[in-house]
Amino acid sequence: MTRRNVLDFVQPHWRNLDPYEAAEPPESLAERGGITEDEVVKLNANENPYGPSPKALEALNHSARAHIYPDPAQVAMRRALSRYTDARPEQIVVGNGSDEIIDLVFRATLEPGDVVVNAPPTFGMYDVTANICGGAIVEVERDENFDIDVDGMLAAAEGAKLIVLASPNNPSGNSTPIEDVERLLGADCLVVVDEAYAEFAGRSVLPLVDKHPNLVVLRTMSKWAGLAGLRAGYGVMNEEMAEVLMRGKPPYNVSQVAEAALLASLEDAEILDERARLIVREREQMGGLLAEMQGVEPLSSDANFILCRLPEGRGRAIYDALADRGVSVRYYSRGKLADYLRVSVGTPEQTGRFIEALRAALQQTA
């Protein structure tokens, strides 16, 4: 009997998936810089430098219910998030990070061949997830200011299933004006607006959810609430769509510990808002310092990171020179981002170390 090759059991579009290019973890950064993990200045993944809120830390330390399954109906989380977002609990679905909500929405809606309209350069998980579903990605590039091409996206959306848009966008940091989102919502497809960084932008399209059944808004506890390592994000959408996702999600998708931390964080919303304001002030401070450096052009940002243009052809070398000094930022090898670095906003001390390392890196690579 001739047996089939094991890869013959794999769906054709899974055989050559491009994985998500994740940021380097602290262990390998430390090894590379010849320093301890604590000494690494990790500004490569837009994490919150202040960590979880006091109540969330307390909840983590007293998480005695680890032997009990979490509530699959997410009653407490949906109620608390309802107060935080002003949406109804029935409109909310909580996921293992907002990555899981992207996955759920795409899997619920996409059949192989269905068109997804994307606006690169943007967050890489939209492509990854669309490919997992066998979707056909149509890219409508952002312009030189990283603004979306609304007319181009609307034209591409004819017959499409999904439009996906990050606002503020990762990695460029700019928001899409609400009028442009409203225009996209006129398309006959689902419009996913990813607001992972909304708390740093101070604006949101959440109030549009009630008016537009085709709008899904994604939010996360990874950035504002400093819970990136625990994985908790959520979607706010039309109730019927939310019900579909609730039925299709894994029953215990959000861990008991992540749930406890999410609930405690929402009780600490004032402290987290204050920290977000601190990060915004630090962002402006760092943007000012970057703008003073020769050949360096920071873009203005509504998020907790800054995309920064470097002298032509030196992106990779500067990234490496920073990493050798224990400072990790995000580098993009592809296309028009090859001369850019994205740097997360850290504490004032981290900004100091980053700026100092960047000065040295610019000299070294000149």
Question: What residues contact 134, with CB distance under 8 A and at least 6 apart?
Answer: 11, 13, 110, 111, 112, 113
Complex with ligand PMP: residue 119 or 209, whichever CB lies closer: 119
Question: What residues contact 236, with CB distance under 8 A and at least 6 apart?
Answer: 81, 85, 87, 91, 92, 206, 209, 216, 217, 219
> Closest approach of Cβ 121 to ligand PMP, in Å?
12
> Closest approach of Cβ 366 to ligand PMP, in Å?
32
Complex with ligand PMP: residue 46 or 265, whichever CB lies closer: 46
Q: Give the integer Cα–Cα distance in Å for 104 and 107.
A: 5
Residue nearest to ligand PMP (CB): 97
- In the complex, which residues of this chain contact ligand PMP (CB under 6 A)? 46, 97-99, 123, 166, 170, 194, 196, 220, 222, 228, 233
> Closest approach of Cβ 328 to ligand PMP, in Å?
15
Extract the tokens encoding 204: 């949101």
> Closest approach of Cβ 171 to ligand PMP, in Å?
8
**Residue type at position 3:** R
> Residues in the chain, how many?
366
Q: Give the integer Cα–Cα distance in Å for 247 and 347.
A: 41
Q: How far is CA 263 from each of CA 47, 243, 269, 273, rounded to the nearest angstrom?
A: 19, 22, 10, 15
Complex with ligand PMP: residue 185 or 201, whichever CB lies closer: 201
Name the one residue in this structure whose structure tokens are 């100091």: 352
Rg (CA), the chain: 21
Complex with ligand PMP: residue 305 or 319, whichever CB lies closer: 305
- Burial of 80 from C-beta contacts in 10 A (0-12 / 13-18 / 19+): buried
> Closest approach of Cβ 165 to ligand PMP, in Å?
10
- DSSP state at residue 250: -
> Closest approach of Cβ 237 to ligand PMP, in Å?
16
